[in-house]
Amino acid sequence: MPELPEVEVVRRGLAKWAAGRTVARATVLHPRAVRRHPAGPDDFTHRLTGATLAAPHRRGKYLWIPLAQDTAMVAHLGMSGQFLIRPEGAPAEKHLRVRFVFDDTEGTDLRFVDQRTFGGLSLHETVPGDPEQLPQPLAHIARDPIDPAFDDDAFHAALRRKKTTIKRALLDQSLISGVGNIYADEALWRTKLHYDRPTASLTRPRTAELLTHIREVMGDALAAGGTSFDSMYVNVNGESGYFDRSLDAYGREDEPCRRCGTPIRRRAWMNRSSYFCPRCQPAPRPSS
């Protein structure tokens, strides 16, 4: 479950069901799942053995779990990654990639399941003195819009100086993290902005509106347990969120805009799709 609300649902599940537990044994069933771990699968499992999982943190779509004073396990769900808390005896999922067995008597294990293998786990040093024990590789990831330390003014200034379009900017994790294809389309629809609008043309009030809508749609989605179109995106207990029923733009091609009734359109865009209302979100005047 890839975007910020879905990852936050997972983080909360880990906080409840995995934090504080000590790993008795870690098993890597598919080496690609730990390809971002520099020292390889054997080092990964060896270093996790005996490690106690601290409370999980999140920035944007990235999760991390501090293990010791200066080490944390980073997790990214990619397009199809899941963390599942399962009964120890439950049969292996078809796409089970990494399994953690604990030294306690709770009777459950922790599994990283990932059909498309774009996600992965890895161990990294943390930024010295960082209160959240941020892993070094995440230092370049921007704070996300629901982080109290997110700087709205700096974000607007960055948009103004970029030579790009608004949806590309929203998906740039070094400018603002946690926004993906669904919530970008939803926030743009709520703000009545076209995805190809040049960022340099945005006024400060427009940027403020956009940020407000990003926060609102993510808050709404979180309250609904996230967005799930199928069993691919689930919480640690395997349950789907139901925000898909509340989407206004994403996935609604040819269905009437909930504001003006005009059919929502889908456009091929950067090897994926953009959904928008052609009336509420008119295309910007072509530049040059």
Partner DNA sequence: CTTTTAACCTGCCTGC
Partner DNA sequence: TGCAGGCAGGTTAAAA
Q: Which residue numbers belong to the known binding site for DNA? A: 95, 116, 162
Instruction: Give rounded-to-5 percent helix, strand, coil for the chain.
Output: 30, 25, 50
Residues 183-222 that bind DNA (CB under 7 A): none
Is 79 among the residues that bind DNA (CB under 7 A)? Answer: yes
Cα→Cα distances 287→11, 36, 143, 163, 198, Å: 43, 40, 31, 12, 9
Nearer residue to DNA within complex by CB, 149 or 268: 268
Question: Which two tokens mark 233?
Answer: 């995106």
DSSP 60-84: TTEEEEEEETTEEEEEE-TTTEEEE
Q: For residue 3, indicate whether it is catalytic.
A: yes
Stretch of 101-109, 143-151, 177-185, 280-288 contacting DNA, by CB under 7 A: 177-185
3-state DSSP call for residue 134? coil
Cα 59 to Cα 276: distance, rounded to the nearest angstrom: 28
The residue assigned the tokens 């689930």 is 234
Is 2 among the residues that bind DNA (CB under 7 A)? Answer: yes
The residue assigned the tokens 């008119």 is 282
Q: For residue 2, indicate whether it is catalytic.
A: yes
Q: For residue 161, indicate whether it is catalytic.
A: no
Binding-site size, DNA (CB under 7 A) = 40
Is 173 among the residues that bind DNA (CB under 7 A)? Answer: yes
Residues 223-242 that bind DNA (CB under 7 A): 226-230, 232-233
- The contact pattern for DNA, residues 137-166, with x = CB under 7 A and - = no contact, is -------------------------xxxx-
Q: Exposed/middle/buried for 274, CB within 10 Å: 0-12, 13-18, 19+?
A: buried
Catalytic option among 58, 61, 111, 252:
61
Buried-exposed string 172-194: b where 16+ CB fall within 10 A, e elsewhere: bbebbbbbbbbbbbbbbbbbbbb
Residues 251-280 that bind DNA (CB under 7 A): 268, 270-273
Q: How far is the CB of 200 from DNA (least distance, A)?
A: 9
Stretch of 17-25, 126-134, 173-181, 203-211 contacting DNA, by CB under 7 A: 173-181
Q: For residue 36, indicate whether it is catalytic.
A: no
One-letter amino acid at 70 equals: D
Cα 56 to Cα 86: distance, rounded to the nearest angstrom: 18
Stretch of 15-23, 82-90, 101-109, 167-175 contacting DNA, by CB under 7 A: 167-175
Nearer residue to DNA within complex by CB, 2 or 41: 2
Residues forming a β-bridge with 186: none
- The contact pattern for DNA, residues 116-135, with x = CB under 7 A and - = no contact, is xxx-----------------
Q: Which residues are catalytic?
A: 2-3, 61, 272
Applying CB under 7 A, the residues found at the interface with DNA are: 1-3, 6, 32, 60-61, 76, 78-79, 94-95, 115-118, 162-165, 168, 171, 173, 177, 179-182, 226-230, 232-233, 268, 270-273
